[in-house]
Amino acid sequence: MHHFEEELTCSICYSLFSDPRVLPCSHTFCRNCLEGVLDLSGNFSIWRPLRILLKCPNCRSVVEIPDSGTESLPINFALKAIIEKYRQEDHSDVATCSEHYRQPLNVYCLLDKKMVCGHCLTIGKHNGHPIDDLYSAYLKEKQSSGKILEQLTDKHWADVYLLIEKLKEQKSQCESVIQDDKKVVVLYFKKLSETLENKKQALLSALDEINRQVLEEYDPLIENLKKMREEHNYCCGQHQFTLGKVK
């Protein structure tokens, strides 16, 4: 997480400060977080002591809380203003918790091996889980992976080699099956193409035969009608010629 955001995060709840209050030792915490620390320390039991003492979670020094409680502690107005401005700005480049709105993922849960926010640890399902800061968790995971590699003996490396060869063999078998299937597909569509071509030629031949029959049926009728029209025109012409001579 960005260093600036770490400065805005309470070291007790690992969330952005809420109602930040300053202890006499100058360290700042959420007011609710301080209330929780006081409850755990037993200062608020059946009777209330004249002096309320608290060990600072940061510097471990014992400080005195006013008799009226954490409400009387001074508010860190500068920090509060910065947080308000920060909340209003867009921080899309910062990873935030999917369960708690706009809470940065700034802690690593060692039990579930995942990044969580402060609310996940205090009120969420990771409450009570062992935690670590992100950088330390990264270094430990890196060292752990290196140790695993160191623990691989020659026998283990031989097993790894055999596994690689087995995977290569399976890959080759899969590729062979795919190539055979491709040949089957090509042959199928080749035969299908030949079958379709034969059907096309058969249909064209049938249509040609039908066309021939149509010509044989209609051409003689058309020719006969043409001859009858010519004969009719010729007779009419002779008749007109004869009438002209008589006159």
With pLDDT > 70 as the criterion, what percentage of the chain qualifies?
A: 74
Q: Among 115-124, 128-137, 225-234, name the one with the lowest average pLDDT.
A: 128-137
Mean pLDDT over residues 183-199, rounded? Answer: 92
| pLDDT, tens digit, 9 for 90 and up, residues 1-10 | 445 666 788 8
| pLDDT, tens digit, 9 for 90 and up, residues 68-116 | 888 889 999 888 888 888 777 655 556 777 777 667 777 778 777 777 8
Mean of all residue pLDDT scores within the chain: 79
Which CA distances in Å does 222 have to 42, 227, 233?
Answer: 123, 9, 17
| DSSP string computed for the chain | --HHHHHTB-TTT-SB-SSEEE-TTS-EEEHHHHHHHHHHHTSSSSS--SSEEEE-TTT--EEEEPTT-GGGSPB-HHHHHHHHHHHHS--TTS-B-SSSTT-B--EEETTTTEEE-HHHHHTSTTTT--EEEHHHHHHHHHHHHHHHHHT--HHHHHHHHHHHHHHHHHHHHHHHHHHHHHHHHHHHHHHHHHHHHHHHHHHHHHHHHHHHHHHHHHHHHHHHHHHHHHHHHHHHHHHHHHHHHH-
Q: Among 35-39, 50-54, 56-60, name the one with the lowest average pLDDT.
A: 50-54
Q: What is the pTM of this model?
A: 0.39
Mean pLDDT over residues 203-223, rounded? Answer: 92
| pLDDT, tens digit, 9 for 90 and up, residues 141-177 | 666 655 655 665 556 667 778 889 889 999 999 999 9
* Domains along the chain with CATH numbers: 5-88 (3.30.40.10), 107-152 (no CATH)
CA distance 214 to 77: 104
Mean pLDDT over residues 111-128, rounded? Answer: 76
